[in-house]
């Protein structure tokens, strides 16, 4: 497992780790593996669902803008 940060003043947000599929708070893994920050643990647990919905919406907006 990768070492987590030991920041004396950590970000208070919640993150979803795409490598471990775990929610992290205060001590975090590498930023490349994280989605977030989210305001609370429950929202962080839905990170992949939120990302899928944002991607779907952006794809629809791109199609509308491009006339497809």
Contact 43, 50 (CB under 8 A): yes
Residues in the chain: 68
| pLDDT tens-place string over residues 1-43 | 556 766 676 678 999 999 999 999 998 899 999 999 999 999 9
Domain membership of residue 43 (yes or no) is yes
Listed range (4-8, 24-28, 48-52, 54-58) with the worst mean pLDDT: 4-8
Tally of domains within the chain: 1
Domain membership of residue 7 (yes or no) is no
* pTM recorded for the entire structure: 0.75
- Rounded CA separation 5/68 (Å): 45
Domain membership of residue 29 (yes or no) is yes
Q: Give all strands (DSSP E) within the chain, no chain letters.
A: 14-17, 22-25, 34-38
Question: Residue 28's domain spans which residues?
Answer: 14-66
Domain membership of residue 4 (yes or no) is no
Domain membership of residue 46 (yes or no) is yes
């Amino acid at each position: 497992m990768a070492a987590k940060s030991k920041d004396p003043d950590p970000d208070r947000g919640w993150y979803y780790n795409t490598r471990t599929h775990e929610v992290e708070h205060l001590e975090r893994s590498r930023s490349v593996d994280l989605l977030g920050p989210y305001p609370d643990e429950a929202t962080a647990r839905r990170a992949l669902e939120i990302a899928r919905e944002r991607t779907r919406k952006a794809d629809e907006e791109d199609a509308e803008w491009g006339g497809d």
